[in-house]
């Protein structure tokens, strides 16, 4: 008896499922009867034509050969090792401070402290909070803190320009707005 009921149940489910799928197939066929897929033809590939390089211009003058590093050799000969800077150079032998591991845009000034006559700034880098004062270094460009006031930290950074010379630039790290 159980077997008979199970077979009858399966037959009824199969019959119901078939009708729904049949109607669905008819509706889908009606909707897509006018649609035809079309693939655009591939564009024609132009053949590669190499252009010979001539070291002379139209008037017969010699041009700079782009395959010879002449400018680099001239720049290196003019300098004394690391660029031709005359005076400004970072102290590469100085021990690094913890905040020099972070770029300046990843450091936030969150407050100031005054102790005796010294002004300190509180900065957040990553998940840590640091107390810095004038003379500390921060940022990845040898940034020396030259001054701290209520709303900003003034820095003097030493960076290399496009010619390889070390140049100083001043930067300010502003107090970040508190979350409201």
Domain boundaries along the sequence of the chain = 98-174
Per-residue pLDDT of the chain in tens (180 residues, 90 and over written 9): 767 667 666 666 665 555 567 787 888 888 888 777 778 888 898 898 888 877 777 777 777 766 666 555 544 555 544 445 556 888 888 899 999 999 999 999 999 998 888 899 999 998 999 999 999 999 999 999 999 998 999 999 998 887 778 889 999 999 887 654
Bridge partner residues of 147 (DSSP): 154
For residue 70, which of 82, 62, 59, 60 has the smallest C-alpha distance?
A: 62
Taking the C-alpha atoms of residue 121 and residue 130, their distance in angstroms, rounded to an integer, is: 8
Q: What is the DSSP letter of 24?
A: H
**pTM for this one?**
0.52
Four-way CATH pick for 98-174: 3.40.50.720, 1.10.10.60, 1.10.1040.10, 2.30.30.830 = 2.30.30.830
């Amino acid at each position: 008896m159980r077997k008979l009921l199970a077979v009858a149940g399966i037959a009824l489910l199969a019959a119901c499922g078939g009708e729904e799928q049949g109607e669905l197939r008819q509706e889908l066929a009606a909707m897509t009867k006018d649609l035809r897929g079309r693939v655009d033809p591939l564009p024609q590939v132009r053949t590669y034509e190499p252009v010979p390089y001539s070291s002379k211009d139209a008037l017969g003058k010699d041009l700079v050969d782009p395959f010879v590093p002449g400018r680099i050799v001239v720049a290196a000969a003019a300098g004394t090792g690391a660029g031709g800077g005359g005076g400004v150079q970072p102290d590469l032998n100085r021990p690094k401070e913890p905040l020099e591991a972070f770029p300046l845009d990843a450091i936030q000034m969150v407050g100031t402290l005054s102790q005796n006559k010294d002004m300190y700034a509180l900065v957040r880098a990553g998940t840590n909070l640091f107390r810095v004062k004038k003379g500390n270094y921060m940022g990845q460009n040898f940034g020396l803190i030259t001054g701290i006031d209520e709303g900003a930290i003034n820095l003097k950074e030493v960076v290399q320009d496009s010619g390889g010379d070390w140049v100083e630039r001043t930067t300010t790290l502003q107090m970040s707005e508190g979350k409201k």
